[in-house]
Amino acid sequence: MPKVAIIGAGSAVFAYEIITDVLCTPGLETGVFALVDIDAERLELAHRIAEKAIAVSGRNWRVEASTNRVDVMADSDYLVNTIEVAGLANVRHDFDIPMKYGVNQCIGDTIGPGGIFKALRTLPAWLDILRDTERLAPNALVMNYTNPMSLTCLTGIRASSLPIVGLCHSIQHTAEQLADYINVPLDEIYFRAAGINHLSWFVELTRGGEDLYPLLRQRAKDPAIYEQDPIRFEMMLHMGAFVTEGSGHFSEYIPYFRKRPDLVEKYARAGYLGETGFYANNWPTWRREADDEIRRLLSGEVEMELQRGPEYASYIMQAIETNTPTVIYGNVENTGLITNLAQNSVVEVACLVDRNGIQPTHFGALPTQLAALDATHIAVHDLVATAVLEQNREAAVYALMLDPLTAAVCSPAEIRAMFDEMVEVQTPYLPEWVY
């Protein structure tokens, strides 16, 4: 009977997705959900929606919940990390201060100034969670959904003996989008993708042995198609492969499209396609709306329909519990998997899953131009992990110096001034060694 601990379950909509997926999964008819969040009110929402979902499913699961993880996480088989540390208090700082220096972010929660400071707030709490897990649930498989994905996974892998895999939905969603763009059924498409999270690349895209990239390039000439993903299409046309993260967020990973107002105006579009400040301007509202959605489900205003979604967590559990092999894309340690990216970094590759757990597969070498774009971020990841694990402030400053978008806009002196200003306003939420 598996026990699934969800840390940060107060993000009730996401916890509800994971719980619903599990309750719809063959072979997972009985078990325990252990829900944890430091926000008692949001934890209560998660607890109630879990109980209701179990009742609707008719399955034999039960729920434990606590604001103190050590009360409920013992002997967990799976630990799902979904924490958000002081995001509401700092989402505006993460955008506004860099913008003052000309660093224009759309999302800003996995890389760039916003992502690095989110990491500095989040990773100390993450390390505490891992230490408790090692003590109370030493056999748990840790599945991380918290951003910054690569930074969280790398720091955890370096600090802990637990098996850790980072899970995202960008590859499976992008595969669906590509099938739509070229009007080819997804189940007829063969692809190979690899890289780092949000900067993985579809290096092969074929049907029946036929290369589909000429068709995709042709489709990109159609404004109705191009306008759905302008920045990703531009990179494909000039760099030779389609990337796995949407245009807006992806535009922050590279130095080409957000460094001048005229470029933002030319290539960025509204919403997730690159709108300036989109996350900072909307995330607090989305958070409230997510809680309201759970309340409507609880009240019966919205009918609860259990349906398994695309997130990998339930598929991993099913593969392990029933020994039914499956393949997922996971963020794992690079032990020779991608040969021209730094070893012991975190890379995103196809992984086999069965009762033996997560087994990453060898990919080989990425095309040089794509590996080079990833390599800069891997250096940033290394420096942030070093900063947190060694309590080394200067390493965190170096990380921001190397961020591609920040470096395209600011001088080293300006970057250091930005770092200092962000530290000053976020001091209550940062570890002491940062200030």
Catalytic residues: 169
Structure tokens at 371: 């590996």
Which amino acid appears at position 432 of this protein? Answer: E
Residue by residue, DSSP assigns 135-149 as HH-TTPEEEE-PSSH
Could you tell me which residues come within 8 angstroms of residue 378 by beta carbon, excluding any fewer than 6 positions away? 196, 341, 342, 345, 346
| Nearest partner of 80 among 30, 17, 28, judged by Cα | 17
| Nearest partner of 116 among 382, 323, 399, judged by Cα | 399
Could you tell me which residues come within 8 angstroms of residue 134 by beta carbon, excluding any fewer than 6 positions away? 160, 161, 162
Q: Let me know: does 107 contact 278? Beta carbons within 8 Å.
A: yes
311: alpha, beta or left? (left if phi > 0; alpha if psi -120 to 50): beta
| Dihedral Cα 21, 23, 27, 29, nearest 10 deg | 170
Structure tokens at 109: 């929660």
Which amino acid appears at position 365 of this protein? Answer: A
CB atoms within 10 A of CB 197: 30
Q: Let me know: does 316 contact 143? Beta carbons within 8 Å.
A: yes
Query: How far is Cα 410 from Cα 416, in angstroms, rounded to an integer?
Result: 10
Query: How far is Cα 349 from Cα 152, in angstroms, rounded to an integer?
Result: 17
Structure tokens at 417: 């001034």
Is 176 exposed, middle or buried (CB count within 10 Å of its CB: 0-12, 13-18, 19+)?
A: middle
* In the block, residue with structure tokens 């390599």: 375
| Dihedral Cα 61, 67, 68, 74, nearest 10 deg | 10
Query: How far is Cα 139 from Cα 136, in angstroms, rounded to an integer?
Result: 9
| Nearest partner of 35 among 57, 74, 2, 8, judged by Cα | 8
Query: How far is Cα 36 from Cα 44, in angstroms, rounded to an integer?
Result: 10
Which amino acid appears at position 227 of this protein? Answer: E
State the pairing for strand pair 199-207/210-211.
antiparallel
